[in-house]
Amino acid sequence: MRSQGLAVIELLKNADAKRLDPEDYDGSRWQGRILKLAQTPSEQDLISSDTALTVSALRYIRAVHVGVNPLEFKFQLEVEGSPLPLAEFIQTHVLNASDP
């Protein structure tokens, strides 16, 4: 696994530093996934880990950028701010960053 992936995993495992629940981002599952990848992973192991990391990273970035959207809880509040293009954000700010 690349250093950027490992750095993102550390952020996910320590999501509580941003007052988020690490389990929302598979916090306790990452150590086992990393160990599995360090051995002789199958193609399915690689695909599953990549998918899990992508989904967790997207959810984490959205939570940090937007916070909790009160509309999801049927509160009648307006949420300001522009939507964040998550895929573009990961490509430009995470994939090749020295410190994601």
Task: Give which of 2, 6, 57 is closest to 31, Cα–Cα.
Answer: 6
Domain for residue 99, yes or no? no
Query: DSSP secondary structure string, 88-100?
Result: HHHHHHTTT-S--
Going by the DSSP 8-state scheme, the letter that residue 81 receives in this structure is S
Mean pLDDT for the stretch of residues 17-46: 93
Domain for residue 100, yes or no? no
The domain of 83 spans 3-93
* pLDDT tens profile 67-96: 765 556 665 555 566 677 877 888 888 878
Mean pLDDT for the stretch of residues 22-35: 94
Mean pLDDT for the stretch of residues 33-47: 93
pLDDT higher than 70, residue 31: yes
Residue type, 4: Q
Q: Domains in the chain: how many in total?
A: 1
Of residues 20 and 82, which shows the higher confidence score? Answer: 20
Tell me the angle at which helices 30-38 and 3-13 cross, rounded to the nearest 10 degrees: 160
Of residues 99 and 23, which shows the higher confidence score? Answer: 23
Domain for residue 77, yes or no? yes
